[in-house]
Amino acid sequence: MSSTQRNKIKNDTPGKNSLSKAINESLDERQNVTFTRGNTLNNSFVEETVNLRSAVRNILHEEIRDIVRAAISEEFSILRKELRSCEDSLSYLNNKFEEMKNNVEACVEMNKTIQLENNLFQRKVNDLESRLSVIEQDSR
């Protein structure tokens, strides 16, 4: 592979990340590999291939880990926003509940007072009716 082809690969690779660097370095090293009789590969080439695979595996592992972390972080960010919204709504509902609870307690107290006054008025009316009945009987 010529240097212009390698440069094209370098320029076509988005982000020019560490994966493209490792591949290009491996291509440079492969140009120096020679073949032995019987079309078998040199031990150094096999070793380089194993190293390249290991490097690619490590780089892919890191890239995938970073992508997964970013995706999870983004999802958690969305969930945090939704949770804050739920907390705000819950706080609002709690305040309204406390307000209604206080109103109900005030109404219960007022109802007790009204019942006591009603009982007092009923006794007074009964007392006045009995007095009126006695006065009517005396006047006959």
- For residues 6 and 36, the answer to whether their CB atoms sit within 8 Å is no
Give the integer Cα–Cα distance in Å for 42 and 36.
Answer: 7
Predicted local distance difference test score (pLDDT) of residue 77: 95
Domain extents in the chain: 33-139
Give the integer Cα–Cα distance in Å for 27 and 49.
Answer: 10
Q: What is 68-120 written as a DSSP string?
A: HHHHHHHHHHHHHHHHHHHHHHHHHHHHHHHHHHHHHHHHHHHHHHHHHHHHH
Predicted local distance difference test score (pLDDT) of residue 41: 54
Q: How far is CA 72 from CA 13, 91, 99, 114, 140, in A?
A: 26, 28, 40, 61, 99
Predicted local distance difference test score (pLDDT) of residue 38: 45
The one-digit pLDDT tens for each residue of the chain (140 residues) are 444 544 444 444 444 456 566 565 655 555 444 444 444 557 788 888 889 999 999 999 999 999 999 999 999 999 999 999 999 999 999 999 999 999 999 999 999 999 999 999 999 999 999 999 999 998 87
Give the integer Cα–Cα distance in Å for 87 and 109.
Answer: 33
Residue with tokens 């150094």: 44
Give the integer Cα–Cα distance in Å for 37 and 68.
Answer: 47
User: Which residues sit opposite 41 in a β-bridge?
Assistant: 35
